[in-house]
Amino acid sequence: MRKFLRWKFSLLFCLSLLTVSHVFPAYFPPVLAQRIPTPQVQALEPSLASSEISSFVKEGFNYAVELYGESRIPVNKVNLQLYSRALTAMEDRDNGEFTIYLSRRPSEYAFHGQLSHEIGHLLNAQLFDCYVEGMSTLFAEKMLESKGLDWSGWENYFRQGSEPLYGSTYFMMKEVAETAGKANMRSFLNFAVYNDETQKWMHIDIDRWLSSMSDSARNEVKKVINKHIPAVIEAVKSADPLFTCKEPN
């Protein structure tokens, strides 16, 4: 079974991506997997084998679905593994099996934030997109706060200019979400399109998403994006110029 690997900076580590050429209309091949109510979680590392972590993943995934809609590929099994970088891999599309690789251990402050960010990517593990990175970090904030965990360390970290790609996209999408509202954010991932004919990687068609809104909402959200996007694009160029980040027309 072909793997789709999401290599990314991880909030603390570097990311490498494939090149983006031109956009093709979205086409989603038939999916054989049927989503079960709660995904099975299997720790492939002893330090990750705890009921607390397993419950966190299950609750986090269901919370992500509540906020942003169903995953593009049904998520039935999530493996957890330590690695030098954080990423999310689609291991078996037909059976809905994914692996979340983590670079932080449960004893570290960054663990739950990193894990939450990756849980957000389970909704579509093929997306390499600046808007989606920001949304996944925003989801991490929401998830930590819903569990009574501290987010302030991350926010201070970003405000100090650390990890500019993740900081700039987080602050952009935080304001975008506040302006667009829950309904528009819930439809956001529906506007994923393939980067090219290989149908391996995807990005958000930001213009189509904006066009789905009322005139007033579209104008306000576009203002927010245009305010942030220059800094985001600069951060993307510094991090990896092949990262997909399209300005609204």
Residue 248 lies in a domain: no
Quote the pLDDT of residue 62.
Answer: 97
Write out pLDDT tens, residues 8-37.
444 443 333 333 333 334 444 444 456 667
Domain holding 135, by residue range, is 4-239
In a domain, 106, yes or no: yes
Residue 208 structure tokens: 């189509």
Residue 231 has pLDDT above 60, yes or no: yes
Give the helix ranges, DSSP H, for 122-214: 130-146, 152-159, 164-180, 182-186, 206-211
What is the bridge-based pairing of β-strands 77-82 and 40-43? parallel
Q: Mean of the per-residue pLDDT values for the chain?
A: 89
Any domain includes 16 = yes
Each residue's pLDDT tens digit, 164-213? 999 999 999 999 999 999 999 999 999 999 999 888 899 999 999 999 99
Give me 80's structure tokens. 């957890």
99: β partners: 79, 89
227 in any annotated domain: yes
pTM beyond 0.75: the answer is yes
Helix then strand count (H, E) for the chain reads 8, 7
CA dist 25 and 37 (Å) reads 31
Residue 249 lies in a domain: no
122 lies in some domain: yes
Q: Interior CA angle at 196 toward 210 and 87, to 5°?
A: 80
Q: Give the burial string for 214-235 (b: 16+ CB within 10 Å, else e).
A: eeebbeebbebbeebbeebbeb
pLDDT at 239: 87
Taking the CA atoms of 114, 117, 121 and 126 in sequence, report the sign of the dihedral they define: negative
CATH of the domain at 104: 1.10.390
Is 83 among the domain residues?
yes
The number of domains in the chain is 1
Alpha-carbon span 161 to 158, nearest angstrom? 5
Residue 190 forms part of a structural domain = yes
* Distance between CA atoms of residues 69 and 72, nearest Å: 9
119/105 Cα distance (integer angstroms): 16
